[in-house]
A and B are shown apart, each in its own frame.
Chain A
Amino acid sequence: MAYDPRLAGAGTAAQQPPAPPPPPETASAPAPTSNASTNSTERTDSYKLRFCTVCASNQNRSMEAHLRLSQASSAFPVISFGTGSLVRLPGPSITQPNVYNFNSTSYSQMYDELLSKDERLYRNNGILNMLDRNRNVKWGPERFQDWVPGLPRIDHVSKGDKGAIGTEGGVVDVIITCEERCWDAVVDDLMNKGSPLNRPVHVFNVDIRDNHEEALVGGKAILDLATRLNDTAAQEQKALGAEGWENGIGEARRSFDEKVPEIVASWQEKWPNLPALWTLAWL
C-alpha cells in the first residue's frame, strides 16, 4: 500500500492503519460514553438526534461520515450535502477535473461515465470505489444552498437512502461540516435563509483533509462526536421523561444545548488533529 507522507505528522493515522474504502461494516468508534448508551438502550433508542454532514462536493468526506452515521450500531438519521458550486472529481490531470451539477446527477451516472472513460485511472485513484460506495448510500450529491429545511423528504425514505429514516420532516438537529470553509458557507447560508423554522441547530466543523484515508479517520471522529451528542441528548430525554425535569438536581437540570461546548472540548481532546468549531444557528 502506498504510503502518504502527508500523514506522517498526523496522529490520527497512527491510531489505526487506514483501510481502503468502503469502510468495514463492523467498524464502530469505541466512545467513552458507549456504556451509558447501551445501558439505556431500551429508552434512548427511540430518541435520536438527526444529523447532516457537509463537505465541498458531497462525495468523499461527507459521504464517508454519512455512511458511518447511518451504519452505526444506533443508526442515526442522517442527510448530507456539499457546499461547492459544482461537484468536482479528479480527472486525468489537475486542470481537467470531472465536473457535474449538484442535485441532478446521480452517483451511478458518474460511476458509469468514469468507468467508460478510463477504468484503470479511476480504479487506481479510488474514485470508482468511492462512487460505488456513494451510490449505495443515496441517489446523488445534493447542494446545501439548495436545501429547503423543513421540506419533507419522504421520497428519500422510499428510495432507501441510508440514514433517511427519521429525516422525513426535512429538519436536523446537528450539522457537521468537514472543512472550515464549508462551516462558513453553511452558517452564512443559514443566515441568508432567514431561519424561517425558528428551530435551533448546532453547526460543527471537524477539519478533515480531503483524501480517502483522512476521510476514514474523520468519519470515525464524526461518529464519535455524534454518539457523544446523542447520548447527552438521550440522557436529557430520559431525565425529562421519567422523573421530570423539575425533579432533577444539579447536572441533570442542565440541558443538552448547554452541555454542547463541553462535549466539543472533551471530544477535541481525543481528536486533537481534527480542529473543531461550533455554533448554534437557526433553521
Chain B
Amino acid sequence: MAQSGDQVVDQIAQLNAARNLVLGDAAFYPQIVNGVLPIIGAHARAELRRWGTEFLAETFASPAFATAQKEQLATNVLQTVRSILELPERDQLVLKNIIQTAASLYPLVFRYIIHHPEDKQSWEHIEAIKQDILRRWDSFSFSVKICCIKFAQRVVLVQTHGPIADPRRPEQNETSLAIVPRNHQILSLPNLEAEASGLLDRILAVFQEDTSDPILVNATLNCLAALIRNRQSISNKIINAILNFLPARHARSPMTPTVRVGIKSMERTSRALLINIMKRNPSHPLVTKMQQHIERLMQSRVEPADETSRKRGLPTEPTDGLDDAKRARLDADTPPIFKIPPLPPGRISYAQLFTLTQDAGLSSFDVKQLPADLLVKIVVPLLARVDQSSLNQVIDAVRTRYQTIQKQHIPQAQPAAADEEDDYEPEYQPMDITSPAADQAGAVSADLPGAQPDLVSLGPFVLPRPPPLGEDQAAEAGRGAVARVFGMLATTTITSNPTKGQGQQLGFSRLAGSTFDRDSWVTLLTRLATRAPSGLEASPKPEADRRKPRISESIRETLYRYILEDFRGRVNVGIMWLNEEWYNDRIQMKLTASHRKDEDEEVSVPLHYDPWVLRLLDGFLPYLDSRDIKIFIRFLSEIPEVTIPIAKRIASLAKDPERVSLCVQSFMYLIMFRPPAREICLDALEEVYQNYEESRPSAGKVLSKWRPQRVEQLQSEEATLVNRTVETKLPSINIANGVRDPRTAHLADSQTPS
C-alpha cells in the first residue's frame, strides 16, 4: 500500500476537484461518496483518511444534500466509518472528523432503522460506533472530547420523545423516540430511553465537577439549547443543572489571565443560553430563577480586576449602524469651564456649600428618595467616567467657597468668645449664695468640665435661684398649669374615642388617670380642683380670703366654662367633676367631724357640690332642647345627689310649653329609677301639674300611678275651687319643701316605703 508523497498530493488534488463538483451540485454526492470510500478507508494513508473523514463529515452535515438521500447513503458508509474508528492509530484529526460524522449519521441511521427493521447489520454498525465513542470518550484529547459531547447530545436528542408536528405526514417529523413503533423488532424504547437518560447525566456532569475546563463547559452549554427547546421531558433537569453551576467557583489560584478568560467565557455563555431559553419561552416556569441566576452571574463577576477597568471610560453609543455622532470629528478643546454661582448671603448650609448647579429642580431633588442599590448603579459608572479636569475644577470651587466661609467666621467668633469671658465673673456670683440644693447642682455641673476639659473650659456654672414666688405669681403659675392641662384635654379629645372600649375593660381596679386619654386628664383636673387644696382653704380668716381667687376656685371656674362650651359633648366631664365634689364634701365633713372638739362650736366646712351643681344646671338649662332628653336624663341620673333646688330647676323647664315633656319625662325617670329622690320629684311634679296647664295630661299619668289619691284631690280641688287664686296655694307648697333638709332628703326618702 506504500504510496509516494507525490501520488498522495495528486490524489488529494483529484479529491478536491471531486469535492468542488459536489459543492457545485449536491446531486453528485451519492456517486462521489461511493467512489471515494475505497480510497479513504482504514488502510489508506493518514492524509487520505483525514481528507476522507472530513469529506464525510461535510457530506452528512451539508444542508444542500437532502435528508432522504443522506439516509440512503448513510448505511453505505457505516462499515468504513466503523473500521476507521476502530483503528489503533488514533489520529486526532481523523477522530474529530469521524465523531462529527457519527453525530450526523446517528439520527439518519436511526430513522432508517425505524423504517427498515430488517437491516440488523446497519444497526449493529451504528451501535458499535456509538459504544466505541462513548467508551473512549474520557480518554480522548480535548479536541475530540468536545466532539463526543456533541455526539452524545445528538444521541440524547434522538433517544428521547420529541414533538409530533403532523401525525399524517410522519416523514416531516423530527427523528426521536416519538416516531418509533412500540413493537419495533430492534429498537427497544425503554432501553433507548434509559441510555439517553444516562448519557444526559454524563453530559451534565461537567457542571458538577470541581474544576471543569472552560472549553468543555462552553461546548456543553452551547449544544444544550436544542435539547431544552425540543425535549420537554428533560428541559427542567438541564436548566436546573445550569442554575447550579457558578463559573466563578472554578476560579483556581493563581488567577492567571487564561483562567480569567475561561471564567468570563463560561459566565457569558451561561447567560447567553439562559437568555436564549427565556426568549423562546417567556412563560417558562423557571424564568424567575433564570433571571436571578443571570443577575448572580453578573454580580459574581471577576471583572473588576478584569477587562472593565481597561475599558475606555466613555459612554457606550448606539452601535447599530454608523451614526453621524460616531464619526463626527470633534475639535480638540479644553473641558468646559464650569460657572460657579456665588453663595447666597447669610448662614450657609452644607447643601448650599456643595450645590454648584443653578437648576432649582436639580438642587431641590432629594436623592434619598432613590433606593440605595439604584444609586450605586448610577453613581459608580458615573464616577468612572467623570472627567478629571472637570472634577478638579469643581472640587477647587467648593474648597474656595469653604475657605471663604471660614475666613468670615473666624473674626466673628473671636469677639463672641471675649464677650463670654466678660460675662464670666457675674455669672459666678450666685454660687456664693447658693443653698444646699444649688450646691448639689453645682457639684454635678462641676463634674462636666472634668470629664471633658477640652470642650468646656468655662468651669462650673450654676443658675441663680429664682426669687420666691409671690402669692399672685404662684396663683398665676397655677392657672398657667391648669390652662396647660386643659390644653391637653383639647388635644386628646380625638384620641380618647378609640380607647374608650379598652377603658371599659379595665374595670374597677384600674388606676384613674393612667391611660393618658381625655378622661384621665379630666380625672386629674377634677381631683386637682377638689382634693389637692382641701384643708388648706379652710383658713381661720374666711373674710380676708374671699377676696383672692383660690387656685381650686379658678380650676372649678375653668371646668365650668369648659363644660358649658359644649355641654352635650362634655356632660360626662361634668358628671365626673360633680361626683368628685360630692365625694370630697363627704370626706371633708367626716374629717372635720372626727377632729371636732367640744369647744369648737362653729365649725364650717366649705361645701362645693350644691352651689356648683346648681350653677351648672342654670348654665345649660336655658339652652336645653326637647331633643336633649337623653343627655339631660343621663346627667340627672348620674349626679351623686338630687336636691330640692335641683328638682325646682327641673320643674322650671315646664314654663316653656315646648319643654314640658322633657320636664315630665325627666321627673318620671327620677321617680322610677332614683328612689332617694322620688318624693322630692313627686312634690315638684305636683307643683308642675298645678301650675302649668300643658303638663297635666302627661304629669297626671305619672302622678296617678305614684300618688293616685293626691291626683284625685287635686282634680276635685280644681273642679270646686276654680276661682281660687294661685297665690294662696303656693306658700303651703313652699313651706312643705322648705322644711326638708336637702342633705338628708334622700335618706328620708329611701326610708319611706314607696
Chain A residues with CB under 8 Å of chain B are: 2-6, 8-10, 56-57, 59-60, 84, 86-91, 93-94, 97, 125-127, 148-152, 154, 168-169, 171, 179, 181, 183-184, 187-188, 190-192, 194-200, 207, 209-212, 236-237, 240-241, 244-246, 253-258, 260-262, 264-266, 268-269, 272-273, 275-282
Are the CB atoms of B63 and A90 closer together than 8 Å? no
Within 8 A of A (CB), among B212-244: 213-215, 218-219, 221-223, 225-226, 229
Which single residue of chain B is at the shortest CB-CB distance from A8?
A: B332
Which one of B93, B154, B265 contacts A277 once the chains associate, using CB atoms below 8 Å? B265
Q: Which of B221, B258, B308 is packed against the most chain A CB atoms within 10 Å?
A: B258
Is there an interface contact between B323 and A90, defined as CB atoms closer than 8 Å? Answer: yes
* Structural contact, B143 and A88, CB atoms closer than 8 A: no
Per the bound structure, the CA–CA distance linking A194 and B61 in Å amounts to 12
Q: A94-B324, A195-B150, A273-B312 are in contact. Are A237 and B93 (CB under 8 A)?
A: yes
Which residues of B have CB within 8 Å of A260?
Answer: 215
Asked if B162 is at the interface (CB within 8 A of a chain A CB), the reply is: no
Contact (Cβ within 8 A) B215 A257:
yes
Question: Are B330 and A4 in contact (CB-based, < 8 A)?
Answer: yes
Which B residue sits closest to A85, measured CB to CB? B320
- Asked if B100 is an interface residue, CB under 8 A from chain A, the answer is yes
Check: B147 CB closer than 8 A to any chain A CB: yes
Tell me, rounded to whole Å, the shortest Cβ–Cβ distance linking B271 to chain A: 8
Given A154, A196, A199, A273, which contacts B310 in the complex, CB threshold below 8 Å?
A273
Contacting pair B143 A257 (CB below 8 A): yes
Q: Which residues of A contact B308 (CB under 8 A)?
A: 275
Quick one: which of B257, B327, B333 has the most chain A CB within 10 A? B327
Given A10-B312, A195-B223, does the pair A282, B63 have CB atoms closer than 8 Å?
Answer: no
Q: List 23 interface pairs A-B (beta carbons < 8 Å), by A numbering.
A: A2-B329, A88-B323, A152-B23, A181-B320, A187-B272, A188-B279, A191-B226, A196-B61, A197-B100, A199-B57, A199-B61, A209-B319, A240-B93, A255-B142, A257-B142, A265-B261, A268-B307, A273-B311, A276-B261, A279-B221, A279-B269, A280-B215, A282-B150
Once A179-B319, A257-B143 are accepted as A-B contacts, the answer to whether A9 and B61 lie under 8 Å apart by CB is no
A90, chain B: closest CB distance, angstroms? 5
Chain B residue at minimum C-beta to C-beta distance from A6: B314
Classify the secondary structure of B's interface with A. helix
Asked if B275 and A88 sit within 8 Å, CB to CB, the answer is no
- Complex Cα distance, B332 from A258, in Å, reads 46
The reply to whether A151 and B20 form a contact with Cβ atoms under 8 Å apart is: no
Would you call A278 and B261 a contact (CB within 8 A)?
A: yes
Interface string of B43-72 (1 = CB under 8 A from A): 000110000000001100111100000000
The 6 A-B pairs of least Cβ separation, nearest first, read A88-B321, A2-B329, A265-B257, A191-B225, A255-B143, A198-B103
Known: A5-B333, A90-B326, A199-B100. 17 other contacts (CB 8 A): A4-B330, A56-B320, A56-B321, A60-B322, A88-B322, A89-B321, A97-B321, A126-B327, A149-B63, A191-B225, A194-B226, A198-B100, A198-B103, A265-B258, A265-B261, A268-B261, A278-B265
Whether a CB of chain A sits under 8 angstroms from the CB of B256 is yes
Q: Is A245 a contact of B92 with CB atoms below 8 Å?
A: yes
- Which chain B residues numbered 513 to 541 have a C-beta less than 8 Å away from chain A? none
Task: State whether A9 and B215 are in contact (beta carbons under 8 Å apart), knowing that A88-B322, A93-B324 are contacts in the complex.
Answer: no
Report B573-594 residues with CB < 8 Å from chain A CB: none
- Min CB distance B322 to A, Å, is 5
A194 neighbours in B (Cβ, 8 Å):
225-226, 229
Whether the pair A3, B322 counts as a contact (CB closer than 8 A) is: no
Q: Tell me if A198 and B23 are in contact (CB < 8 A).
A: no
Contacting residues, chain A, for B93 (C-beta < 8 A) = 237, 240
Q: B653 at interface (Cβ–Cβ under 8 A)?
A: no
Give the nearest-CB partner of A277 in chain B: B268
Are B311 and A190 neighbours in the complex by a CB distance under 8 Å?
A: no
Q: Is B146 an interface position by the 8 A CB rule? A: yes
A88 surroundings in chain B (CB, below 8 A): 320-323
CB-CB under 8 A from A281, the residues of chain B are 218, 222
Q: Is the CB of A4 within 8 A of B218?
A: no
Contact of A191 among B19, B57, B219, B222 (CB under 8 A): B222
Q: Which residues of B contact A (CB under 8 A)?
A: 19-20, 23-24, 46-47, 57-58, 61-64, 89-93, 100, 103-104, 141-144, 146-147, 150-151, 154, 213-215, 218-219, 221-223, 225-226, 229, 256-258, 260-262, 264-265, 268-269, 272-273, 275-276, 279, 307-308, 310-314, 317, 319-327, 329-333
Residue of B nearest to A155 (CB): B24
Residues of A within 8 A of B63 (CB): 148-151, 196
Q: A198-B151, A245-B92 are in contact. Are A192 and B276 (CB under 8 A)?
A: yes
B319 touches A253 (CB 8 A): no
Q: How far is the CA of A22 from the CA of B744 in the complex (A)?
A: 125
A76 to B480, CA, bound (A): 101
B94 nearest CB neighbor, chain A only: A240
Of A150, A168, A194, A279, the most chain B CB neighbours within 10 A belong to A279
A125 neighbours in B (Cβ, 8 Å): 324, 327
Task: List, in ascending order, chain B residues with CB within 8 A of A148's CB.
Answer: 63
Asked if A192 and B225 make an inter-chain contact with CB atoms under 8 angstroms apart, the answer reads yes
What residue of chain A has the Cβ atom nearest to residue B97's Cβ?
A: A199
The interface residues of chain B lying within 8 Å CB-to-CB of A273 are: 310-312
Give CA–CA (A114, B293) in the complex, Å: 47
Q: A97-B321, A150-B64, A246-B90 are in contact. Are A195 and B226 (CB under 8 A)?
A: yes
**Could you tell me if A191 and B329 are in contact, using CB atoms closer than 8 angstroms?**
no
The residues of B that contact A265 with a CB separation of less than 8 Å are 256-258, 260-261
Question: Smallest CB–CB gap between A36 and chain B, Å?
Answer: 20
Known: A150-B64, A171-B58, A198-B154. A268 touches B257 (CB 8 A): yes
Q: Which residue of A lies closest to B222 (CB)?
A: A281
Q: How far is the CA of A246 from the CA of B260 in the complex (A)?
A: 31
Q: Is the CB of B150 within 8 A of A261?
A: no
Distance in angstroms from B137 CB to nearest chain A CB is 15
Chain A: CB-nearest residue to B270: A279
B141 neighbours in A (Cβ, 8 Å):
245, 253-255, 258
B277 CB, nearest partner CB in chain A, Å: 9
Q: Which residues of B contact A264 (CB under 8 A)?
A: 258, 261
Find chain B residues with CB under 8 A from A152 CB: 23-24, 62, 64
Contact A188 B312 (CB under 8 A): no
- Give complex CA distance A18, B308 in Å: 24
CA distance A244 to B141 in the complex (A): 14
Using Cβ atoms and an 8 Å threshold, which residues of chain B touch A199? 57, 61, 100
**Distance in angstroms between the alpha carbons of A158 and B676 in the assembled complex:** 128
* Smallest beta-carbon distance A121→chain B, Å: 10
Name A265's closest neighbour in chain B (CB-CB). Answer: B257
Instruction: List B contacts of A280 (CB < 8 A).
Output: 146, 215, 218-219, 222
Q: What is the CA–CA distance of A84 and B320 in the complex, to the nearest angstrom?
A: 6
Q: How far is the CB of A142 from chain B (nearest CB, A)?
A: 16
CA distance A57 to B324 in the complex (A): 15
The CA-CA distance from A184 to B320 in the complex, in Å, is 14
A198-B226 in contact given A211-B327, A261-B215, A275-B307 (Cβ < 8 Å): no
State how many angstroms separate the Cβ of A278 from the closest Cβ of chain B: 5
- Minimum distance in angstroms from A213 CB to a CB of chain B: 9
> CA separation between A57 and B91, bound complex, in Å?
41
A275: which B residues are within 8 A, CB to CB? 307-308, 310-311
Output the nearest chain A residue to B321 by Cβ-Cβ distance. A88
- Asked if residues A97 and B310 are in contact (CB atoms below 8 Å), the reply is no
From residue A195, how far is it (CB to closest CB) to chain B in Å? 6
A195 to B322, CA, bound (A): 31
